[in-house]
């Protein structure tokens, strides 16, 4: 089978997914053939350079002209651009892969999930960390009962790229565009991982959000990549209307207790995504900064054992290098694209889809409501 794809967005995520597609024929030759057809954006000069760099045939400046031109539409734009183009693509009979969080607010996420339900098309929400081999291995352990009944889930996603008050403003600081800050950008990953590993959904939350710096300098011409931009000396500022950090307590349907935290002000952490589960028979601990490892405590063990999830028998590992040859952050995106495109090719269901994205969005919404009201909030159906 051969699929044509169109990407809306060509910066960080555009590059990450284009890299994933480029790796497929070499390492996952059983995946459908993919033609990188069209790259969609606004800046023609940047687009014309990007199509060469990312291996696309052409570019377009309006998603309306292209969403029904391709077999699969990748929505890699800012969060408030997720709903309309994704819904238009689904209505046009195009499969849709969308970055996380599914949308900038719950209503929009509901509209997207309902368009997906009404179509026959496959959808994906980009919870890429599910596809790290150690996370897949952890899921197998939890499912097989190896750690028994799970009592606690503790998930943190820590970054520090906004500690400098002069770090430039970007769309990630705007409630209109992003919806929320660290909560939606990073918390969405933690909440999805927790629900995935546990096989249970969050039912109630108590949330706390905080913005530490209320205005930031407008970005300079070279600040297109906000995460690595140096401090800006511009005197003109824009308001930060999202959280810089959040924390939440959560009650899961199966009785487990959850504690979540994410920050863009966690000095010393660049991309610290950790999750720990404690159960009646053992525990597991994962740290993205050591993604080839999983720490496991079993039975009456006195301490965690480090498992190197780099064996041929481990998920996806045999597709890459001989056992013990580590893989990195980008490999999880290759696995994610392999699974999604194969599901389309084989006419099989794919998970995490828009329904899963909506489930996470409901938790994000409850955390914000809880913070506003100063009390626990139910995750609304
Ligand atoms: C920025 O905070 C970011 O790129 C997120 O948007 C990604 O989802 C996360 O994986 C890494 O950090």
What digits encode the pLDDT tens for the residues 205-262? 999 999 999 999 998 766 555 566 566 767 899 999 999 999 999 999 999 999 999 9
CATH 3.30.70.2190 given to domain 129-378? no
Q: What pLDDT score was predicted for residue 40? A: 98
Query: Which of 186, 269, 274, 288 to probe ligand 1 with, by most ligand atoms within 8 A of CB?
Result: 186
Q: Identify the helix (H) or strand (E) that includes residue 91.
A: helix 83-91
Q: What is the pLDDT of residue 337?
A: 98
The residue nearest atom 5 of ligand 1, judged by CA position, is 185
Out of 227, 264, 274, 330, give the residue to mutate to test ligand 1, the one with the largest number of ligand atoms within 8 Å of its CB.
227
* Rounded distance from Cα 347 to ligand 1 centre (Å): 30
Domain residue ranges in the chain: 2-128, 129-378
Q: Which ligand 1 atom is nearest residue 189's CA?
A: 8
- The rounded Å distance from CA 166 to ligand 1 centre is 20
Q: What pLDDT score does 219 carry?
A: 87
Question: What is the tens place of the pLDDT at every residue in 284-322?
Answer: 999 999 999 999 999 877 899 999 999 999 999 999 999
Nearest CA to ligand 1 atom 6: 185
Q: Are 115 and 87 in contact (CB under 8 A)?
A: yes
Cα 186 to ligand 1 centre (Å): 6
Residue 301 C-alpha to ligand 1 middle, in angstroms? 35
Name the residue with the closest Cα to ligand 1, atom 9: 186
Interface confidence, given as ipTM, is 0.96
The DSSP symbol for 184 reads: I
Using 70 as the pLDDT threshold, list the residues of the chain that sit under it.
Answer: 221-231, 233
| Cβ contact 277:142 at 8 Å | yes
Kindly list the distances between the CA atom of residue 313 and the CA atoms of 137, 308, 334, in Å, as whole numbers in the listed order: 10, 12, 18
Ligand 1: atom nearest CA of 99 is: 8
Please report the atom of ligand 1 found closest to the CA of residue 182: 2
Distance 185 CA to ligand 1 centre (A): 6
pLDDT score, position 225: 57
Q: What is the pLDDT of residue 230?
A: 64
Ligand 1 pocket residues where CB is under 6 Å: 159, 185-186, 227, 271
User: Quick one: pLDDT at residue 123?
Assistant: 98
Predicted pLDDT at 172 = 97
Atom from ligand 1 closest to the CA of residue 185: 6
Residue owning the nearest CA to atom 11 of ligand 1: 271
DSSP code for 363 = H
User: What does the alpha-carbon distance between residue 181 and residue 207 come to, in Å, rounded to a whole number?
Assistant: 14
In this prediction, residue 302 carries a pLDDT of: 86
CATH for 2-128, options being 3.50.50.60, 3.30.460.10, 3.40.50.10860, 3.40.50.720: 3.40.50.720
Centre of ligand 1 from the C-alpha of residue 145, in Å: 31
How many other C-beta atoms lie within 10 A of the C-beta of residue 195?
23
Mutate to test the pocket of ligand 1, among 172, 271, 272 (most ligand atoms within 8 A of CB): 271
Tell me the CA–centroid distance for residue 289 and ligand 1, in Å. Answer: 14
The CA 157 to ligand 1 mean position distance, Å, reads 10
Q: How far is the CA of 151 from the centre of ligand 1 (A)?
A: 28
pLDDT score of 126: 98
- In whole angstroms, give the CA distance from residue 299 to residue 212: 43
Paired with 96 in beta bridges are: 73, 123
Instruction: Tell me if domain 2-128 and domain 129-378 are identical in fold.
Output: no
Distance 19 CA to ligand 1 centre (A): 17
pTM: 0.97
Question: To 5 degrees, how large is the angle CA 365–CA 367–CA 371?
Answer: 115
Hunting for tokens 């952490």 — which residue is that? 269
Please tell me the residue having the least CA distance from ligand 1 atom 10.
186
Nearest in space to 279 (alpha carbons), one of 192, 197, 157, 156: 197
């Amino acid at each position: 089978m051969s699929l044509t794809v169109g990407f809306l967005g060509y910066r960080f995520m555009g590059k990450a997914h284009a890299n994933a597609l480029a790796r497929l024929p070499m390492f996952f030759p059983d995946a459908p053939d993919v033609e990188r057809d069209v790259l969609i954006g606004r800046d023609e000069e940047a687009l014309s350079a990007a199509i060469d760099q990312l291996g696309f045939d052409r570019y377009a400046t309006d998603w309306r002209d292209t969403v029904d031109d391709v077999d699969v539409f990748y929505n890699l734009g800012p969060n408030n651009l997720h709903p309309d183009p994704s819904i238009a693509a689904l209505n046009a009979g195009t499969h849709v892969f969308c970055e996380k969080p599914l949308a900038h607010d719950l209503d929009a996420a509901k509209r997207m999930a309902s368009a997906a339900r009404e179509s026959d098309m496959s959808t994906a929400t980009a919870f890429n960390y599910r596809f790290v081999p150690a996370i897949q291995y952890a899921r197998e352990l939890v499912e097989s009962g190896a750690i028994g009944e799970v009592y606690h889930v503790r998930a943190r996603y820590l970054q520090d790229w906004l500690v400098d008050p002069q770090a430039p403003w970007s769309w990630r600081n705007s409630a209109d565009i992003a919806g929320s800050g660290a909560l939606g950008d990073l918390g969405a990953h933690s909440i999805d991982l927790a629900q995935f590993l546990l096989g249970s959904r969050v039912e109630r939350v108590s949330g706390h959000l905080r913005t530490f710096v209320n205005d930031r300098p407008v970005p300079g011409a070279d600040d297109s990549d906000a995460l690595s931009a140096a401090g800006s000396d511009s005197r003109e500022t824009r308001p930060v209307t999202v959280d810089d950090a959040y924390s939440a307590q959560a009650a899961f349907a199966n009785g487990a207790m959850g504690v979540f935290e994410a920050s863009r002000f966690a000095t010393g952490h660049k991309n610290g995504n950790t999750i720990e589960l404690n159960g009646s028979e053992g525990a597991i601990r994962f740290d993205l900064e050591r993604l080839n490892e999983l720490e496991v405590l079993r039975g009456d063990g006195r301490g965690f054992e480090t498992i190197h999830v780099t064996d041929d028998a481990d998920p996806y590992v045999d597709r890459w290098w001989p056992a013990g040859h580590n893989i990195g952050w980008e490999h999880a995106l290759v696995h994610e694209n392999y699974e999604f495109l194969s599901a389309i090719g084989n006419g099989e269901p794919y998970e995490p889809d828009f329904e899963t994205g909506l489930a996470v969005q409901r938790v994000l919404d409850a955390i914000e409501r809880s913070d506003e009201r100063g009390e626990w909030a139910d995750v609304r159906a």
